[in-house]
Structures are given as structure tokens and as C-alpha cells.
Amino acid sequence: MSLFSSIRMAVNTLQANEVALQVVGQNIANANTPGYIREEVLFSPAPTQRNGKLLMGLGVQVDAIVQKIDKFLEERLRGSISDRVDAETREAAYMQLEGLIGELSDTDLSTSLNNFFNTIHEILNQSGGVSARNLTVLQGNTLTTDLNRLADRAMKIRSDLNDHIFDMAADINRLTEAIRVLNVRITQIEGGNVSASDAVGLRDQRLMALENLAKLVEIRVKEQESGAVIVYSGSQFLVFEGEARQVEVVLDSDRGLSVANIHMANTDAPLDTASGELRGLLDSRDQIIGGFLDRLDNFAHTLAFEFNKAFSQGQGLNGFQDLTSEFAVDQVDAALNEAGLKFMPVNGSFQVIVHNKQTGDTEWADVVVDLNGLDSDMTLENLADALDDVDGISATTTSGRKLRITTDSPELEFFFHGDTSGVLAVLGLNTFFTGSTALDIGVNAVLKADPSKFAASLVTADGDFTQNTANAEVLAALQDRRIASQNNETLNVLYDRMIGETTQAASIAGAVAEGARVFEQTLRGQKMATSGVSLDEEAVNMIAFQRSFQASAKYIATLTELFEILVEI
């Protein structure tokens, strides 16, 4: 023990306090840096020195500068971020959808639907007039245009979501690459846990990268002894220490859209993530918007088919002279229920009425639509032959695999009646709506050109089939008629369910997103409680280290005085 060694000890103390002050400075400097983890300097007493019988302390030494971090909390926070971004993505999708539907306003689809059916009431009010029928055709056009527009816009949202997913692969790859590089550098700098100190800045950057990655996909992070982290998503590695696995976009076709899905580049397995923005976007695209489009299509499909089925039973003020079916079959010699039609006909029959406008003479004919599955079932060709056998009309299949029926002379016209097979609606003969989805539903061009063909009449006991409005009575009430193929629900209920499911799900998505936000905020609060910089706390530390430094300096001054005394002796 000597004065020199005491001075030496005091210098160590000064240096330790300098280090501590630098850490305080670092913390103060990054007090407002997002993602910054508060650092702490760790002191320990210097080793003991034997001097004769005495064992003497050698002052203080700086053990390490470490980050104040709760790794378990970080993992939970990343999870909550994934959940929050997932929920917020869905919430945003629903918000757009709700805006699109515009329900509760006076211009929504339900109003359009009601207006359409209301115009059929006007046909009843003005029986015999063409103007009311024309109004129904026009309102039908508005309804179908609204459906088309809604479907088109929903598809646009779906397409935008898809583009977003397409771009996401590059973001994931960029982040995993950054994490891989940081892994390498942290390992190099920290020397594989040789150093007690953390590669703080790099770790901060890595934490930030992980957090950003968690926004995109749900990840689990495991830190190795080397300081490197392994990142999983589901059962797949994204980063394994110094190695990053790339993802790539795989294109597929779904509901008329070339959809992008993200797969692992090396295994071609889909990137399996339960939350995060990717999950949110995928679900928004496929389930929220896609599901809505499915329901909208089902609604449009049901509306078109059920309305057409009822409509095709009726007769207009004028009959047809040249009529081509709306829908084509895949093969003219295939049974009609296996010919790739959008709707399905069943075993049944219908009647054709050929009417001579000059003489008033009528010719009725039964057409049996044999689809009983036992013998040779009816094909489009057979149907054409059966119709061709009816006096006064000719029927052929066209090169476009449709059915064309024409009268044999200009004074003849034909009508249909009593179709139990649904084949008229299926083929689009004497129908109101064309198309089978929300996107392609429209009003039959034949009716647009001649609204008097609106089939408001039904054959009466008197044999009248053009002068009454009995079919309009049926059509006007169709909104409330139970539909067997839709679990006996009505068109109104179907519509309410479509809107209700969207609304309910949107409401839930909003609540889930809010919950996720709160949870994340709570976890962030907890994280900041551990890792955040408090300037007041740093000020206290700074004063403490300053005082310690001042005391050590005073101690050196005292020892220096002792040296001077000794020198002066």
C-alpha cells in the first residue's frame, strides 16, 4: 500500500464516474429516441490486494454497460403488435366496405331494391299500360347498375389489398436481411458473450427491425448465447443466426382475381402467419371483401334466378318472334343439368303458346324436360327438337351453343307458361335479369328494347294470357317469398343477412382492434417502465456521479498534499 496506489485507485474512481456520466449522457441524448433501450453502467469493487497481513480494496471497477430490457415483455409486445396490425387491417377493410355499401342512407342498395319492387306495384296500379312496365325495366336497370358498381368497387378494394400483399414480400425480405446482418455484427462486436457489455446500438436497431417485422407477420424470437436471434414465423425459420430465408410471391387465381400469396422461397410452403398485417390483408382480401363479394354474388344470383323463374312463367303484352337464350351451354349434346349452366334445371315440363295475332288462334304444346337421370336426359339439342316440333315455331342450337326460337311466320308470336323445370330461367328465355353474379347482372336487352314484353300476365282460367297482371302480383311479392334453395329465407332476409354479417363483423373488428391497441399500449407502458429514459432519474444519477467524481478528485488532492509534505521533508 502506497500513496501511489491510493492515487491509482482514485484515478480508477474518476474513470469509472466518467464512464457512468457518459452512460447518463447517452441515456439523456436518447431520451426521445423511439425504441431506445435505457443503458445502465454496472460497477463492482476492484479486486482485493494482500499487503502483509492486510487485505485491502483497490477501489471501484466498471463491469459492464447493459441495456435495461425485459426480453419476455419484448416478445409479448411483438405479439401484440402483430395482433394490433392484423386487427387494424381488418378494421380498415371493413371501414372501406361499410363506406361502399353506404347503408343507412337513402341511396343504398336496399333502397334501390325496394324501388325496383315498388315499380312492379305500379304495373298493378296501371294494368295494361306499357309505361309502368317501362318504369320497372328502368328501375331494374338502376338496381343492376348499383349491384354492378358495388361489386366492381369491392373488387377494386380487393385488388388494392392484393397489390399490398404483393409488395409485402419485399418488405419481409428486407427486414429479415437487416436482422441477419445485425445478428452477424452483434455477434462479432459482443464476441459471443465474451464481453459483458451489449452492442447496444446494434441491438436497438435489431429490436426495431424485429418490431417492424412483427407488424408484417407474427414472429417468435429466440436469442442465442452468441447474441444472435432466431426468428420463426409459425413453423418456419425466417432468420437463423447468420442466415435469412427469403420469401417470394406466388400467384394464384381466385374469384376472378390473380391473387398474390407469400411463400417461403426454398420450400414453396405458404408463409404461415396467424396475425400481423399479412394475415390481416389476406383475410381482408379473401374473407372480408371476398366473402362479401360471395354473399353479394349469392344475393344477385338468387335475385336473378328466383325473379327469372317467376318471371318466365308469365307472359307480356306481346310475345316473342325471335328469341335466343341468354346463357350458352358447354356442349349442346350434354344433359342440361350437366352442361355447365350457371343455374340448375330439374326434371319438369313447360308449355309453349303459339299465338296468331291476326286470327287470335292459339296453339299450346307441352315440352317435357326429361332430367330424371334414368334414360337419356334432355340436352339442348333435344330441347331444340322438342320445340321445333311445335307447330308455328322453329328452334335450333346456334354456333354459340345457345337456343334460338323463331316463329314460322310474321303473324305468329310465342309465349311460355308453367315451367316446373326452371329450364327457361336457366337458359335465359323470357327472363328479366341477365347474368348470374353481382358484377354481370343486368336487364334483358329484349325488355329494354320492348318493355311490353314484361311478363306481367299469367294464364287465367279464361285462357287469357296477356291482358292480366297476375304474374306482376307474384313478382311484387317476391321480396317476401321463402326460397327453398336459401334455407327458406326471403330475399329481404338474404339481403339483411348480407349487410348484417358485414356490419356485425365490422363492429367486432373495430372492437378487436381497439382491444389490441389498448393491450399494446399497456405493454408499451410496461416496456417503457423498464427501458424508457427518465430525465429526472438521469439527473439524479448525474449528480451522484458528479459528486463521486468530485470526492475522488478531492481525495487525489489530499494525497497530493501528502506527497508535497513528504517531498518537503
Partner 1 sequence: MANIVGIPTTRVSDLFMRQRLTNQIQMDQLDAFRVQMQLSTGRRIQVPSEDSNAAMRIIDLQRLLERKGQVRSNLSTNQSYLLATDSALSSVSGSLAEIRAVAMGVVGEIATDAQRTAASQQVQQMIRQLQDIANQKFRGRYLFAGTSTTVMPFGETDKGGYVQYFGNEGKVSSYSDIDLLFETNLHGGEVFGAISEKVLGAKDLDPILTYNTRLADLRSGAGITRGSIEISVAGNRSTIDITSAETIGDVAAMIRANPPAGKTLDVEIAPTGLVVTLHGDPGDTLAIREVGGGTTADELGILTRIGVGTTVVGEDLDPILRLTTRIGDVLGTRSYAPVRSYGSDNDLIFEAPTVGAAYDGIEILFEDDGSVALPGDETASYDPATNTLTVKIKSHQTEARHVVSAVETAFLAGNVPITARLDPLDSPNGGRGVIAATPVGQIEGQTAGGSGTAFDADAGIQIVNGGETHVITFTGAETIEDLLNVLNMSDAGLTARINGSATGIDIRSRISGVDFMIGENGGQTATQLGLRTFTETTRLEDLNFGRGVATRDGTDFTITIAGTPAGPPPVPIEIDVSGLETVGEVIDLINAQAPGELVARLATYGNGIELVDQSTGTDTLTVSRVQLGRAAIDLGLVPEGQESYSAAAPLLVTSTTTKSNLIFTADNPGAEVAGVRVVFEDTGTGNVTYDPTAKTLTFGITTAPPAAATTAADIIAWLEASPAGAEFSAELDPADTDSDGSGNVEDTDPFAPPLLGDEGGTEASATVVFSGTDNDLVFRAKSALPAQVGTEIQFNGVAAFGPPTFAYAGPGNPLIITYDSDGTTAQEIVDGLAADAGPAGANFSAALDPTDGSPNLGTGTVDVQTSTPMAGGSRFLKGADVNRQETEGIFTALLRLKTALMNNDLGEIERSIALLDDRTDKMNFARAELGVRQQGLDITQVRLDNEEIDLKESLSRDFDVDMIQAISDFTARQISFEASLRTAAQLLSITLLNYL
Positions 329 through 368 that interact with partner 1 (CB under 8 A) = 346-349, 351, 359-366, 368
Classify residue 486 as exposed, middle or buried by CB count within 10 Å of its CB (0-12, 13-18, 19+). middle
Strand, helix or coil for residue 346: coil
CB of 457 to partner 1, least distance (A): 8
Q: For residues 564 and 569, what is the distance between their CA atoms, to the nearest angstrom?
A: 9
Counting contacts by CB under 8 A, is residue 274 touching partner 1?
no
| Residue found under cell 328469341 | 323
Q: Which of 103, 248, 294, 381 binds partner 1 (CB under 8 A)?
A: 103
CB of 542 to partner 1, least distance (A): 9
Counting contacts by CB under 8 A, is residue 22 touching partner 1?
no
- Which of the residues 282 through 311 are near partner 1 (CB under 8 A)? none
Counting contacts by CB under 8 A, is residue 2 touching partner 1?
no
Q: Which of 56, 251, 535, 557 binds partner 1 (CB under 8 A)?
A: 535
Window of 115-123, 198-206, 240-248, 254-262 that interacts with partner 1 by CB under 8 A: 115-123
- Residue 184: all three cell numbers together: 452477424
CB of 467 to partner 1, least distance (A): 4
Q: Using an 8 Å Cβ cutoff, are 149 and 173 in contact?
A: no
Which residues in 211-361 belong to E strands, given as ranges?
A: 220-223, 229-233, 236-240, 243-244, 247-254, 257-264, 322-324, 348-356
Window of 213-221, 327-335, 394-402, 508-516 that interacts with partner 1 by CB under 8 A: 508-516
CB of 128 to partner 1, least distance (A): 4
Q: x/- binding map, residues 477-506, to partner 1, per CB under 8 A? A: x-xx-----------x---x--xx-xxx-x
Residue 230: strand pairing partners? 222, 240
Distance of CA 109 to the CA centre of its chain: 22
- Which of the residues 398 through 437 are near partner 1 (CB under 8 A)? 420-421
* Of 560, 439, 397, residue with least CA distance to 147: 439
- Which of the residues 364 through 393 are near partner 1 (CB under 8 A)? 364-366, 368-376
CB of 556 to partner 1, least distance (A): 25
Strand, helix or coil for residue 433: strand
# of chain residues touching partner 1 (CB under 8 A): 93
Residues 6+ apart with CB under 8 A from 383: 336, 367, 369, 395, 403, 423
Window of 192-200, 222-230, 393-401, 467-475 that interacts with partner 1 by CB under 8 A: 467-475
Residues 6+ apart with CB under 8 A from 435: 144, 300, 304, 441, 442
Residue type for position 550: Q
Q: Which is nearer to partner 1, 126 or 141 (CB)?
A: 126
Strand, helix or coil for residue 85: helix
User: What is the C-alpha R_g of the chain?
Assistant: 40
CB of 300 to partner 1, least distance (A): 18
Q: Using an 8 Å Cβ cutoff, are 434 and 307 in contact?
A: no
Q: Which is nearer to partner 1, 331 or 507 (CB)?
A: 507
- Which of the residues 62 through 101 are near partner 1 (CB under 8 A)? 94-95, 98-99
Residue type for position 467: Q
Q: For residues 253 and 105, what is the distance between their CA atoms, to the nearest angstrom?
A: 35
* Of 311, 374, 373, 314, residue with least CA distance to 345: 373
Q: Which of 524, 553, 555, 559 binds partner 1 (CB under 8 A)?
A: 524
Which pairs from 252-261 meet CB under 8 Å and 24+ separation? Answer: 254/286, 254/290, 255/290, 255/293, 255/294, 256/155, 256/439, 257/155, 257/158, 257/159, 257/162, 258/162, 259/162, 259/165, 259/285, 259/286, 260/162, 260/163, 260/165, 260/166, 260/169, 261/165
Q: Which is nearer to partner 1, 249 or 493 (CB)?
A: 493
Q: Which is nearer to partner 1, 117 or 432 (CB)?
A: 117
Counting contacts by CB under 8 A, is residue 129 touching partner 1?
yes
- Which of the residues 182 through 241 are near partner 1 (CB under 8 A)? none
Counting contacts by CB under 8 A, is residue 464 touching partner 1?
yes
CB of 533 to partner 1, least distance (A): 6
Q: Please list, residue by residue across 237-261, b when 16 or more beta carbons sit within 10 angstroms of its beta carbon and e when fewer do.
A: bbbbbeebbebbeeeeeeeebebbb
Q: Which is nearer to partner 1, 245 or 307 (CB)?
A: 307
Window of 209-217, 249-257, 396-404, 532-540 that interacts with partner 1 by CB under 8 A: 532-540
Q: Which of 539, 550, 557, 563 binds partner 1 (CB under 8 A)?
A: 539
Sign of CA dihedral 131, 136, 137, 143: positive
Number of H helices, E strands in the chain: 13, 18
Window of 277-285, 308-316, 424-432, 461-469 that interacts with partner 1 by CB under 8 A: 461-469
Q: For residues 279 and 218, what is the distance between their CA atoms, to the nearest angstrom?
A: 9
CB of 77 to partner 1, least distance (A): 13
Q: Which is nearer to partner 1, 445 or 539 (CB)?
A: 539
CB of 153 to partner 1, least distance (A): 16
Q: Which is nearer to partner 1, 302 or 492 (CB)?
A: 492
Q: How many Cα atoms are found within 13 Å in the side-chain-facing hemisphere of 382?
A: 15
CB of 284 to partner 1, least distance (A): 15
Q: Which of 228, 476, 483, 491 binds partner 1 (CB under 8 A)?
A: 476
Q: Which is nearer to partner 1, 152 or 464 (CB)?
A: 464
Window of 1-9, 29-37, 186-194, 280-288 that interacts with partner 1 by CB under 8 A: 29-37
